[in-house]
Amino acid sequence: MDLVTPVFWVFAGWSVVSAVLCITRRNPISSALWLVSTMFALAGIYVLLDAQFIAAVQVIVYAGAIMVLFLFVIMLLNVGDAPREWRRWPVGLLGVGLAAVLGAQLMMLGGYGRQRLADEFSTQPAPVNPALVFPEGMASAAAVAERGVVGAVAEPLFTAYLIPFEITSVLLLTAVIGAVVLAKKKL
């Protein structure tokens, strides 16, 4: 417990620095690599949040597969350093301003304290199953303790979320076909 919080902050700092570098590097390959770095940091945080399976998938699928795809495309297109990578200043400034405002708004969501969340649940006609609400924040840990790291995720995925899961497979199939159609010069 004592160790978790400092480690969390280390990972948090790591991820933020990586993200900043990701969006500021001119070279897209640098950006992609810093994004991979961010993802590793996030995977660490997932472990701290009792989501070990997600952390693994993050590293394998996200950082491994998806980002490799990005790097592959970058290298395929051979896009080097852009001479003028940034937007011109009025548009850029507008973007920075908008992002700042949005960030501030997201931070304000912190105003959604625990009490308020509880209030909203209590006022909703059909609240989430109260058994699933763990005010102490031990839901993930409890599930892991009960069904193991993979089983904790697999149990809801193949029961409550079975139909969305199957639909997701259709989505992936569609994406595969779409990607082939788009990328191929001639079918």
- The verdict on 127 binding other proteins (CB under 8 A) reads no
Q: By CB under 8 A, is residue 157 in contact with other proteins?
A: yes
Task: Confirm or reject binding of residue 180 to other proteins (CB under 8 A).
Answer: yes
The label of the residue with tokens 């699933």 reads 132
145 binds other proteins, rule: CB under 8 A: no
Rule CB under 8 A: say whether 116 interacts with other proteins. no
CA–CA gap between residue 42 and residue 34 (Å, rounded): 12
Burial 109-129 (b: 16+ CB within 10 A, else e): eeeeeeeeeeeeeeeeeeeee
Q: Please check whether residue 15 is in contact with residue 63, taking contact to mean a CB–CB distance below 8 angstroms.
A: no
Could you tell me the smallest distance in angstroms from the CB atom of residue 125 to other proteins?
18
44 counts as binding other proteins under rule CB under 8 A = no
Sole binder of other proteins in the list 10, 119, 120, 168 (CB under 8 A) = 168
* Distance of closest approach, residue 124 Cβ to other proteins, in angstroms: 13
71-100 positions binding other proteins, by CB under 8 A:
73-74, 76-77, 79, 82, 84-87, 91-92, 94-96, 98-100
C-alpha dihedral, 18 to 24 to 25 to 30, nearest 10°? 30
Residue listed under structure tokens 């609400």? 133
Which region, left, alpha or beta, applies to residue 78 given φ > 0 means left and ψ of -120 to 50 means alpha? Answer: left
For residue 150, state whether it binds other proteins (rule: CB under 8 A): no
Question: For residues 76 and 125, which CB has a smaller minimum distance to other proteins in the complex?
Answer: 76
Q: Does 132 bind other proteins (CB under 8 A)?
A: yes
Instruction: Kindly state the tokens that stand for 126.
Output: 């059909």
